[in-house]
Structure 1
Amino acid sequence: MLPKITENMTLKEIMEMDDKLYQAIQKYGFDTCCTKMSTLKDSCENKGLDLNKVLEELNEVVEEINYIEQLINESEES
């Protein structure tokens, strides 16, 4: 299960959690090459994005990934 994303996580940490999160990070237009060690909070401030909205959207992706993982684990146990 993936942990909840926080504002103090770096872009690199988030992107490495799952390909879906990597894609979600890219859609915001963050510089994932040169500033990937920046925190999500700093990255949002630099882009003028609403941190709470970005956190909410990224954590929805985390919830979806965790739900799918849970379903897979349940089906394997059956």
Structure 2
Amino acid sequence: MNTRTVFVALSVLALAGCSEPSQELHSAAEIGQTPEYTGTGSQFVAPGWTQGDKASWSRELTVRTQRGQNEYNKTN
């Protein structure tokens, strides 16, 4: 191989490392998934949450955040 071919090959490899995949958010319809609040059909769910009820899902996330993920509540 001549020097020029090696240089071109290394340049192509170096530029390929500079690319980055798209970080756009996709909706559930684009991905082909159902929304999280619809559940999995399992009988093992948190008490107070009804599968398929978006308002129930939202309340459960709020309660979970306040109980377990709020550092202010943990320290006081």
TM-score, normalised with respect to structure 2: 0.36
The structure richer in helix per residue is 1
TM-score, normalised with respect to structure 1: 0.35
Of structures 1 and 2, the one scoring higher in RCO (CA 8 A, sep 6+) is 1
The structure number with the bigger radius of gyration is: 2
